Chains A and B, each alone.
Chain A
């Protein structure tokens, strides 16, 4: 089955700097890669996703890249702000008629003022 590894587990960056979180997946059948943000005490919420037919996607300060050959994908946050502090999860999901979404272990991002 699918296995998703995520690094680093914790990340602290100065406000205004960039943050990068990296993930690898094992199942070549995976074709959908969402990223979720979970603020303290709240539910995970989708912030951006990418499909296997796309190499990069950007939404304002957030961008994701996907390398299918190497089976890894990354989240880039530029110009970080205090409200970016949260736990971020990458995930991978294989194409099938009934899916499962497998999450990485999470990265706790802290933005230093």
Chain B
């Protein structure tokens, strides 16, 4: 059973398009995240949601809009894609509630904007 799954695994699209990445976790965690990993491998937090509520938005352009329909899902929609958006996007989840614990990552979505 996959703990954190995200789709698609690969996404190639043209500049200016709008695309979405979906993420689901079956671990019962209350917190979900989106991270961006650029070509230099740096893992940068983009958003953090706790029980469907946005907690952290780390100066991400408003072309990026996360949506959490329930605490098991956190989707990422990107409008007007730019070349600089090319990266691997990782979804992750963890259980916070008083004691921080391990974050589990999805397999990543490699986004290529051409």
**Cα distance A66–B100 in the bound complex, in angstroms:** 17
Q: How many chain B residues have a CB neighbour from A under 8 Å?
A: 29
**Cα distance A87–B96 in the bound complex, in angstroms:** 26
B73: min CB distance to chain A, Å? 17
| Contact between A44 and B102, CB atoms less than 8 A apart | no
A95-B100, A106-B42 in contact; A43/B105 too (CB < 8 A)? Answer: yes
Q: Mark A89-113, 1 if CB is under 8 A from B, else 0.
A: 1000101111111110110100000
**Cα distance A75–B98 in the bound complex, in angstroms:** 26
**Cα distance A24–B65 in the bound complex, in angstroms:** 32
| Contact between A98 and B45, CB atoms less than 8 A apart | no
| Contact between B105 and A44, CB atoms less than 8 A apart | yes
A43-B90, A44-B90 in contact; A101/B45 too (CB < 8 A)? Answer: yes
| Contact between B103 and A97, CB atoms less than 8 A apart | no
Residues of A within 8 A of B (CB): 31-32, 34, 38, 42-46, 49, 87, 89, 93, 95-103, 105-106, 108
**Cα distance A100–B102 in the bound complex, in angstroms:** 11
| Contact between B100 and A43, CB atoms less than 8 A apart | no
| Contact between B42 and A100, CB atoms less than 8 A apart | no
- Chain B residues with CB under 8 A of A100: 33, 45, 48, 55-56
| Contact between B108 and A101, CB atoms less than 8 A apart | no
Asked whether any CB of chain A lies closer than 8 Å to the CB of B50, the reply is yes
**Cα distance A32–B39 in the bound complex, in angstroms:** 27
